[in-house]
Amino acid sequence: MQLLLVRHGQPDTRQEGRFVNPPLTERGHWQAARAADRLAREEIAAIVSSPLRRAYDTARPLAERLGLEVEVVDHLAEVDGGGEGTRYISLEALRREGGPRWQNFLDDPVGFLGGDTETFCANVLGAFGRILQRGEAGKVAVFTHGLPINVILAHILGIERLTRFVPHYCSLTRLIGADMQRLTILSVNDTGHFGPDEI
């Protein structure tokens, strides 16, 4: 089975720091449409998504093009999807800010966002494992977030640090394998569906 991991499009950060599940910006919807144009040429057997709005709304254009339902998988969500008391933080804004807060995120991204690293990683890997166990013929498009993508890549590569990769909005990461022990990375952070000035 091939897993096509798509990070969500650009979220609306105008309410950043509040207890929100932000929608996509206009640009985020445009990015989602471009990703759908690219993925519609693939043999997609199923579409799964994080329950968070920015991921689900990124999946919808592809689902509409292909006439498929979007299956929501809870543990594909970002750390900020944990419910009451959690908050959305734009990692792009945090990176631009730099300084101690950015370093704290790099050192312990899950803890920085209010989660438990061991539990979060186990949940993410469990979700990917269950998708692989279904044994879909063809490709499964997985619409998710930056940290879940980093968790699965770190698992495959056998590295501990979860901040080795910076997936761009609506980038494509390809994995192939029959189960979690045999997953191989085909590509990471592919943005070929955008022009050089559109990323």
Residue 4 DSSP one-character state = E
- Tell me if 10 sits within 8 A of 25, measured CB to CB: yes
Q: Which two tokens stand for residue 193?
A: 């569906």
Strands 139-144 and 44-49 come out as parallel
- Tell me if 144 sits within 8 A of 128, measured CB to CB: no
* Known catalytic membership, residue 168: no
Q: Per the residue annotation, which of 16, 64, 71, 78 is the catalytic one?
A: 78
Residue type, position 4, single letter = L
Rg over alpha carbons for the chain, rounded to the nearest Å, is: 16
* Known catalytic membership, residue 78: yes
Q: Which two tokens stand for residue 75?
A: 């543990």
Q: Which two tokens stand for residue 117?
A: 């690293």
Active site residues: 8, 78
